[in-house]
Structure 1
């Protein structure tokens, strides 16, 4: 038994010794081999001892080739120093040049200094300080460097070049220059094959017509397509655009912005908000959807408008205009309105409402086939009502003052309606007062009428042609007499705050209901947020 045990122990020890020898052999480092030089000097009185090789020096270390004017070899440490016209070839594709080299043979690590240049295919790196790991084929510079490929020039304080992965990493004061833009960044990665730059920190991209800031994203320098994801802002001559994510296609002059989008027109004090924005033709056209909001800031008040879609473009005279489509609803403290579509033209500073528009102002409800709101110096000057015009003001819980005509023109001063001109088929139904007491109901007809308004009440009516009318005592008024044809009180549709512009109730004019009694009013609710 003891003999058998000793035999097993002997076999085990032999195996361990063999494994140790194999490991030691694997760990043995290859020597740097000097293949050629004009002069060789062996210096033995130095510490450490060294060999000097002078003139046309050629060095080989595995698959690495090195050339220089002169070299010092240190056998004990398997290192060398090379001087003058240093040239390293690694893996046949990477060429490195410099004035001085210190090379560590055991780790295949090179330190090059002064006038250093690294070339790999179409990429050239220039710097004064470069370290290169031959095993991993990675170059490092740490005191400023420049990278040039076929189309781009990049500079930074710190850089790494992963030649196997064709990837460059830049840190600190990064700058990239192309024919179309200049990029400034804190941290950047760049793939030399795909030509894609990856933004990893605060970055600004400056072009001829726009400047973009972001802290995360990518930019394809070859296709000019990019996408950005963090704190992104796009500034142009006309607009500033923000969003959670921005996609840009410069060649097709297209931009798409997603989530928490804001387009700010500082020249016209306009803001568009929503969750999706698409711009065309270098931002001359823009389309906003998904909780789209238009905001016009003025010194005294601001207008908040919501619709399914908002569009910015230019008219034939190249003046900017804003269009709102479907379920349009707006709020300002002194005026509110609804319609199906709306156009705001900068050329004449007029807002035009189409398809069953209604506006409310100073206690008045106004409807027409189309309504125009004309402004001057950010203040309303005129209200244009065209076709089936009807103004209603609630006198009390029972009576309504009513003015009706084909077309009407409202005159506004200090944001208050003070005069109303009715042109064609004019009708009035109102309740005159004396010391706060209603005297009766006055009904009159005239083709053209002018009405003066004071303190939000009818002060004087001027009939430009002889009127046809009567004054009726209150006790002789029956229910049918109290309303002109097509009267419709629409207070339930009026937004009472800027938050209510997102709540939509379907509205059908009474004249359409009278024409088609079977038509039902549907009231779907549509919600959003500012």
Structure 2
């Protein structure tokens, strides 16, 4: 075997051989060597046998092959080495160890000069960070990068990811995962799916196309689901920053929403809904150009909406729709129920009343610079309003259909809990290697085991 170079020479040094035979076959000279150790340049090889085709720059080796260079150690069952093409065809049980990385495959084309390996029939990569498997792959040692295609899976002690293809630069911990992506992170109870994922060592993850993010609370009592066209997730020191764009839909057991843009900070537990947002909590719907939702231990603590906002509450007994609008709205909650509602300035209120039997009994409608409503267990107890202009309606059939200007009530748009839970497409990454390990590789591993 000779080193790859533009001026490749057929200089092969036989360091050891049990038998060497020179023959002529089909008119060409062949040197056959058995139980052999060869050296060419800085490459050493041992194998059960080797054939050197002297006139066509080709070396073939068979059985228990071990190749060692300053940069890697390779084990294989067979080797076809073409010096004029700077190409080695490794077949059978192929293992390549480079630095802290070990690669496994059964059909590998490798270039010792460019340090590029093409895995055409399965690839398994192992390092201190975990294990990666795929149907095909190309590994670039000098760039510490790789491209994997077909049934791609990555797994370590805390994370699992899969997709149809992957580009990764391991030194910078940057990766791009394409098509049918699924990422589960057990360390923070998070899950991501989508069409494309970009991630790096800073904790930044960007998902494009049908993005879905699921986060289970630390006490496992609540789960938040976020669907959108695009999602940016930044994880730093146990803090999640979520940025979702396009057709954003949120669902949790106490809160749901739709909007064009969503901003969330786990350290403050505040959801910010921007551009055409609608938020729901129990029987309340809130509309406004900007909505802020303050959560506390998975419960809604406060809703805020600004600039010509309107909230509609469905009466649990009568089904009638209370309507409150103004420039700014702040709603406070206790133990999941609304406790206080403040609307200012330019508040407008339409509130339906009931008699002692809980039946509809008219309505109050008025305008005021400010209105504050106090509730107990979700039921209105007291109203404090500034100077107001309004009137009381006696009960009549059409009163239930009365609406303030800008009224909107869209229960059909309210997100529901996802019917299905996202799960991996593929079985878990096997612990076992893809084949029985070669004898010389086992001997190599044994060298690193300390004596008792």
- TM-score bucket (shorter structure): 0.7 to 0.9
1:355 aligns with 2:278: no
SS of corresponding position for 1:132: strand
More helix by share: 1
> CA 1:484–1:330 in structure 2 vs 1: closer, same or farther (change >3 Å)?
same
CA distance in 2, matches of 1:435, 1:104: 111
CA distance in 2, matches of 1:361, 1:143: 68
CA distance in 2, matches of 1:267, 1:432: 51
Find the partner of 2:88 among 167, 170, 188.
Answer: 167
1:196 aligns with 2:119: no
Whether the 8 Å CA contact 2:135–2:150 is kept in 1: the answer is: yes
Whether the 8 Å CA contact 1:449–1:461 is kept in 2: the answer is: no
CA distance in 2, matches of 1:147, 1:324: 50
Whether the 8 Å CA contact 1:446–1:464 is kept in 2: the answer is: no
1:155-185 Cα distance to aligned partner (Å, 9 max, x none): 325341414342141543714123xx41231
Per the alignment, residue 303 of structure 1 pairs with 224
CA distance in 2, matches of 1:310, 1:363: 29
- The structure with higher relative contact order (CA 8 Å, sep 6+) is 2
Within 5 Å, give how 1:52-67 maps onto structure 2. none
1:286 aligns with 2:205: yes
1:64-102 Cα distance to aligned partner (Å, 9 max, x none): 9xxxxxxxxxxxxxxxxxxxxxxxxx9633333215223
Within 5 Å, give how 1:155-304 maps onto structure 2. 155-156=74-75, 158-164=77-83, 165=85, 166-169=87-90, 171-172=92-93, 174-178=95-99, 181-187=100-106, 188-199=108-119, 200-206=121-127, 211-235=131-155, 239-250=159-170, 254-279=174-199, 281-282=200-201, 284-297=203-216, 299-300=220-221, 302-304=223-225
1:348-397 Cα distance to aligned partner (Å, 9 max, x none): 233221122101232221123322333344x2242331314432123499
CA distance in 2, matches of 1:96, 1:345: 67
Whether the 8 Å CA contact 1:375–1:382 is kept in 2: the answer is: yes
1:96 aligns with 2:14: yes
CA distance in 2, matches of 1:163, 1:412: 77
Per the alignment, residue 63 of structure 2 pairs with 142
Within 5 Å, give how 1:106-505 maps onto structure 2. 106-107=24-25, 108-113=30-35, 116-119=37-40, 121-122=41-42, 124-127=43-46, 129-134=48-53, 137-143=58-64, 145-148=66-69, 152-156=71-75, 158-164=77-83, 165=85, 166-169=87-90, 171-172=92-93, 174-178=95-99, 181-187=100-106, 188-199=108-119, 200-206=121-127, 211-235=131-155, 239-250=159-170, 254-279=174-199, 281-282=200-201, 284-297=203-216, 299-300=220-221, 302-313=223-234, 319-332=239-252, 335-377=255-297, 379-387=298-306, 388-395=308-315, 399-405=320-326, 406-411=328-333, 413=335, 416-422=336-342, 424-425=344-345, 426-433=347-354, 434-443=356-365, 445=368, 447-452=370-375, 454=377, 458-464=378-384, 468=388, 471-475=392-396, 482-496=402-416, 498=418
CA distance in 1, matches of 2:33, 2:251: 69
CA distance in 1, matches of 2:180, 2:334: 36
SS of corresponding position for 2:370: strand
CA distance in 2, matches of 1:499, 1:437: 37
CA distance in 2, matches of 1:274, 1:397: 43
CA distance in 2, matches of 1:478, 1:372: 32
| Count of aligned pairs | 395
Whether the 8 Å CA contact 2:124–2:131 is kept in 1: the answer is: no
SS of corresponding position for 1:230: strand
CA distance in 1, matches of 2:118, 2:233: 32
Whether the 8 Å CA contact 1:314–1:320 is kept in 2: the answer is: yes
TM-score, reference length from structure 2: 0.75
Per the alignment, residue 86 of structure 1 pairs with none
Tell me, which stretches of 5 or more residues in structure 2 are unaligned? Answer: 2-7, 421-452
> CA 1:400–1:409 in structure 2 vs 1: closer, same or farther (change >3 Å)?
closer
CA distance in 2, matches of 1:257, 1:403: 47
> CA 1:448–1:94 in structure 2 vs 1: closer, same or farther (change >3 Å)?
farther
The alpha carbon displacement at 1:476 in A equals 9.6
The alpha carbon displacement at 1:227 in A equals 1.0
CA distance in 2, matches of 1:225, 1:184: 13
Structure of greater Rg: 1
The alpha carbon displacement at 1:278 in A equals 2.2
CA distance in 2, matches of 1:138, 1:302: 61
> CA 1:189–1:205 in structure 2 vs 1: closer, same or farther (change >3 Å)?
farther
1:180-224 Cα distance to aligned partner (Å, 9 max, x none): x412314343222332112232402425x6653334211111233
Whether the 8 Å CA contact 1:452–1:460 is kept in 2: the answer is: yes
Per the alignment, residue 432 of structure 2 pairs with none
1:262-308 Cα distance to aligned partner (Å, 9 max, x none): 233333322221112223x4363222112222223454554333222
> CA 1:163–1:118 in structure 2 vs 1: closer, same or farther (change >3 Å)?
farther
